[in-house]
Structure 1
């Protein structure tokens, strides 16, 4: 799931049907915890976000008797929902909607930070390590044109094929290719699942490929990738995207909550603030969901069983 990554605009997807208990003014339920609490999690479309929501949902329900529902929505829609009280929290934000963040967090103060997720997000351009080992100079973007012929496909014609992210993810790769005068054609993936399937196919066949890639990403447990050094990121260098000549920012991923819910300081609110795990934790759960085709609730249960010392710290004392 921009620039600060990165995952931009998806319309609310079909998710688990859910509803947030609202007051007459449309504010979120701020009850003190227990069976009266209802939490709606805004769940972005990528599997890492699904892993976050699955673990938080199961622990809130099993340990704190809180009713939890998840709705699939990425950052742009999620911030609107947090502002209106139709969502309680988003557990993984890549700072991909700075204008909405400024509007709701800094100006209206209807949305507040719930702290770091504990996972560092990074986007870049990558090739498989087996290709980089044979062509070590590929690690610098200035040498990409030299190797463009190796990346040609029937889709890219006489240019190298750049595997782009799903169109809904925030990105400026197409513009970067143009502005850096690279001999590549940006071809977007239809969805994350389609991109991962194609990368796995190429990787298994030991063929060269160049792709938009990111961490956390569960498939990094299965494949070995090497990053291409792009022009250094500086704040605002990708805006407007049409003039972008830089790479991507590395982010400390952040949680956000509806301000009224946060102020209520219920057990659920305290839990969400304390929820913090590692990239490995997320990748383990995400890998079970996407790689092993486990149901999210089963993958969450597996992780919870094996990591009691970690999640017990998230449970409110009172």
Structure 2
């Protein structure tokens, strides 16, 4: 994460990240290019309505913009690649998952995915991930939520702006094995492939992706996953395919192992970490959970 102390520096880096000129950004905001220049030089701040526009245009978390767009800015660390912020150098890394075991995932800022606007935010985040060739469809996300509402959650900040999500696909072991054996990819999954996990002897809870814009929201989203898995009293498989190295670090601490990784694809998409298929099961998770409940 990079430390920002002004809205101007954030805007300049956003343009570089998005490969956008000052003129193109001005057109997005429907302002004169001179306004963009003044913002970037910190000669003027954004008005309140432009803060909301900036969220829509840049997909930067509202809290980051609010912290920096002030007469006395609040220094904030931010990473464009993973859409994540922190207020201090100490807390910018993801925490030890042991802390999450006893956390109750109760907050009025989190609910199941249900609106088109929810899905639009999720798909927009998915497009940031270098390994995602094409995001899964809205229909798949909504069907997955219908079948598995406990794990398909979206979270907002205190101002009502999108702050993260979990998207899990309930799959049969047979279909998952095709992904595991690299006979098919995520893009081959259809609505008809999603199953009622309650009727499966060994269901697969396939994490399509997880996003959180800060550690607090990561806590709530992760705790909701563990709370659900604690209640499953039969065999299951947990799997995820990701190119985020921080996510893999958390998974590895919980006993999740790498099934395969694609270093050739990593070079092709210029990813910081190789896309990896990670896997675990009820035995491993129960050992992790029970070890920290003693």
Q: TM-score range by the shorter chain?
A: under 0.3
- Greater relative contact order, per chain length (Cα 8 Å cut-off, separation 6+): 1
TM-score w.r.t. the length of structure 2 is 0.26
TM-score w.r.t. the length of structure 1 is 0.24
